[in-house]
């Protein structure tokens, strides 16, 4: 097939001038605001007990890993209503694109790796696995988030399989010692609504937290008028969703057991009805229910020895309905989903002063069923042993070094991975960090067992993807400026993809992902701060000059922020540019189709009032200039008149306005 012209955005001269001026204003700065305004999040930890898992990501940053933190404060002041939107706007070096606006699937890229090479966690519990590798963050409410941790680079040592590109860990709200709570609501464009409430307290040593929310919207038309015109009887329906979330937590501190212990339990329930529209169908509906349960025991036995034991259960089931334009069903409430349970044990032992040894054990069990894609082989077990040694050097007290390994046994594949990382100051406020290690990704159930002739065929003989990851960063603070440049190099052997015969196969040649990330942040004068980042990616298979599909060649992010010294009002202006992205092939036909190459700008402002500022109003405007652009990629359809195949691009969300109110007590 020939190339299909990329749809041009409505980027007028005025918009271009605004983009240019805003980019100039933002250019001296990326790195999440948390890095500039609150660097202690990563380097100085107030530890109430060892709490190994709770502080793991911050400790990894001190040992040379690249870690970003998004806080609840940033989410709140920005008026965000969608997790993918938070990641898209606030995390430098992470590409995120939602298919049809809020509450939809998203495609991501980190260090040149794709969505299925990122591990997604909720309170340390994996929410993607070998059976279903994508990250379904559309079921998570932003109001329940305490912080989001983004670990950039291969993180197979502590987090297991599939983390070739990195890890995203969403941490939910914590139980407080005193009575605390909040209620809030929002309304917005396309009949968006939201209502939420939280209360937490500790009574006689028993801590409780209850959270509930509803949010949804009717959405917008996800395709262009000319695409609908090519389909006889096309249903021009908005793409919307509705979501209910309930969460309950309990904890009990036990002070008279060694140096103290903490028992925790939590249960989360999400119910979502989400439309995933297609230009040539009447309906594509997911009616989904998800449960995430956790029991955890943290115990500080002595000043030198601590451990935790965590058990979890996760189930994710959807009834999937797709209806043709003539009213007949392709699928009618077809079952699709999985159940996942496991055990994680980890201990920390300090010996000979500040030398530390971490040792752990993982067990995971997955079971899934899919009536949509005919997949066999629906059960998987994973066991792993891992360790990390963190030596202390008397002669080099500021050097932080860690080395470790992990032995994984799963699906007939026994694989050992390792990691060495370190960080040290080099002069005054400058530092250098580096990490090198190996990681691997198992083939998904789809890649192994899929039997859909019109889409693809599985291959039970697939080998795991194996990678060697190198990462180095140099950073410094000088006066009002903080800057870092990082380089990541990932070599992948046995990369899995669809061959020309539509059968999943391992590539014969090595695939290399190269990424340069620049970050610069500053607080030039009182109340103002600006942050910017730029990422340049070269992701190719040896012998090919084509960038891997769905991976942007470059992208930029910038945020200009203001907060009045009284903290009563402020606002953000955020802009981002997405470079050229290849859509790739569809079914048995090859399309040289691209999207991206567009600018987007968002605006938010807040106002706090009342004694101690408990009330907060937030106004958020996404896609401020109402630019027209493609997002996520394309889908194939057939022209009713000519019978020819054509690609229909997913239309990005138009300008949306959201007004929110929140009362904290």
CA 10 to chain centre: 29
pLDDT greater than 90 at residue 66? yes
Domain count, the chain: 1
pLDDT greater than 90 at residue 138? no
Residue 134 lies in a domain: yes
pLDDT greater than 80 at residue 393? yes
The mean pLDDT of 193-216, rounded to a whole number, is 97
- 249-to-121, 209, 266, 269, 663 alpha-carbon distances in Å: 18, 5, 4, 12, 21
Q: 117 — phi, psi (to 5°)?
A: -110, 15
Residue 5 lies in a domain: no
pLDDT at res. 636: 81
Range of the domain at 414: 13-664
The mean pLDDT of 246-255, rounded to a whole number, is 96
97 vs 103: CA distance, rounded Å:
12
pLDDT greater than 90 at residue 532? yes
pLDDT at res. 1: 37
pLDDT at res. 222: 92
Residue 4 lies in a domain: no
The mean pLDDT of 180-198, rounded to a whole number, is 96
The mean pLDDT of 593-611, rounded to a whole number, is 95
Residue 120 lies in a domain: yes
426 vs 136: CA distance, rounded Å:
41
List, for residues 4-31, the tens digit of each pLDDT value: 333 334 444 334 334 433 433 333 333 3
Where is average pLDDT lowest: 229-238, 302-311, 559-568? 229-238
Half-sphere CA count of 210, side-chain side, radius 13 A? 2
Residue 7 lies in a domain: no
Residue 331 lies in a domain: yes
Mean pLDDT score across all residues of the chain: 88
591 confidence band (pLDDT: 50, 70, 90): low
The mean pLDDT of 604-609, rounded to a whole number, is 98
CATH number at residue 123: 2.40.170.20
Q: What does the CA dihedral 373, 508, 110, 593 come to, rounded to 10 degrees? A: -70
pLDDT at res. 46: 42
Residues 214-225: b if buried by 16+ CB within 10 A, e if exposed: ebbbbbbbbbbe
Query: Would strands 430-441 and 206-220 be described as parallel, antiparallel, or unpaired?
Result: unpaired
Residue 2 lies in a domain: no
Q: DSSP alpha helices (H): ranges in 220-360? A: 225-229
Residue 300 lies in a domain: yes
């Amino acid at each position: 097939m020939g190339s299909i012209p990329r749809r041009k955005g409505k980027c007028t001269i005025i918009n271009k001038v605004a983009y240019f001026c805003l980019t100039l204003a933002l250019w001296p700065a990326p790195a999440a605001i948390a890095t500039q305004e609150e660097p202690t999040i990563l380097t100085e930890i107030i530890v109430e007990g060892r709490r190994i898992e709770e502080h793991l990501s911050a400790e990894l940053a001190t040992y040379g890993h690249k870690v970003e933190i998004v806080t609840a404060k940033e989410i709140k002041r920005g008026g965000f209503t969608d997790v993918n939107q938070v990641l898209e706007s606030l995390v430098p070096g992470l590409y995120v694109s939602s298919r049809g606006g809020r509450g939809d699937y998203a495609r991501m890229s980190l260090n040149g790796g794709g969505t299925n090479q990122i591990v997604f966690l909720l309170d340390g519990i994996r929410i993607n696995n070998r059976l279903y590798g994508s990250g379904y963050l559309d079921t998570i409410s932003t109001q329940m988030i305490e912080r989001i941790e983004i670990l950039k680079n291969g993180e197979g040592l502590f987090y297991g399989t599939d983390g070739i590109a990195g890890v995203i860990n969403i941490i939910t709200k914590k139980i407080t010692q005193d009575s605390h709570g909040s209620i809030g609501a929002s309304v917005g464009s396309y009949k968006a609504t939201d209502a939420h409430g939280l209360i937490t307290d500790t009574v006689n040593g028993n801590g409780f937290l209850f959270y509930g929310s509803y949010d949804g919207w009717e959405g917008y038309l996800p395709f262009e008028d000319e695409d609908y015109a090519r389909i006889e009887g096309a249903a021009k329906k908005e793409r919307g969703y509705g979501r209910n979330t309930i969460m309950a937590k309990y904890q009990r501190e036990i002070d008279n057991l060694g140096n103290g212990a903490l028992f925790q339990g939590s249960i989360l329930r999400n119910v979502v009805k989400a439309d995933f529209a297609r230009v040539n169908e009447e309906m594509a509906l997911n009616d989904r229910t998800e449960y995430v349960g956790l029991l955890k025991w943290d115990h500080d036995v002595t000043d030198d020895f601590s451990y935790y034991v965590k058990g979890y259960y996760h189930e994710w089931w959807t009834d999937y309905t797709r209806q043709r334009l003539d009213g007949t069903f392709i699928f009618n409430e077809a079952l699709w989903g999985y159940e996942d349970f496991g055990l994680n044990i980890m201990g920390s032992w300090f010996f000979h002063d500040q030398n530390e040894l971490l040792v752990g054990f993982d067990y995971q069990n997955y079971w899934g069923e899919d009536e949509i894609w005919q997949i066999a082989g629906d059960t998987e077990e994973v066991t792993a042993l891992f360790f990390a040694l963190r030596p202390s050097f008397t002669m080099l007290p500021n050097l932080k070094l860690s080395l470790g390994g992990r032995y994984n046994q799963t699906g007939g594949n026994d694989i050992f991975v390792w990691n060495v990382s370190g960080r040290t100051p080099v002069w005054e406020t400058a530092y250098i960090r580096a990490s090198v290690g190996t990681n691997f990704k198992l083939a998904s159930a789809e890649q192994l067992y899929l039997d859909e002739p019109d889409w693809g065929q599985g291959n039970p003989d697939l080998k795991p993807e194996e990678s060697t990851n190198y990462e180095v960063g140099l950073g410094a603070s000088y006066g009002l400026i903080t800057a870092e440049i990082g380089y990541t190099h990932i070599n992948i052997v046995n990369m899995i993809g669809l061959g020309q015969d539509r059968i999943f196969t391992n590539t014969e040649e090595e695939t290399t992902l190269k990424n340069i990330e620049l970050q610069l942040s500053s607080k030039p004068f009182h109340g103002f701060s600006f942050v910017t980042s730029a990422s340049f990616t070269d992701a190719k298979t040896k012998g090919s000059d084509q960038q891997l599909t769905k991976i942007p060649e470059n992208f930029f992010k910038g945020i200009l922020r203001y907060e009045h010294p009284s903290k009563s009002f402020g606002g953000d202006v955020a802009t981002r540019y997405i470079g050229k992205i290849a859509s790739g092939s569809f079914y048995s036909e090859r399309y040289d189709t691209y999207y991206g190459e567009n600018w987007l700008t968002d605006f938010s402002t807040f106002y706090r009032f009342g004694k101690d500022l408990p009330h907060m109003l937030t106004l958020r405007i996404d896609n401020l200039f109402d630019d027209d652009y493609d997002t996520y990629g394309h889908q194939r359809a057939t022209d009713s008149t000519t019978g020819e195949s054509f690609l229909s691009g997913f239309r990005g969300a138009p300008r949306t306005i959201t007004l929110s109110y929140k009362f904290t007590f």
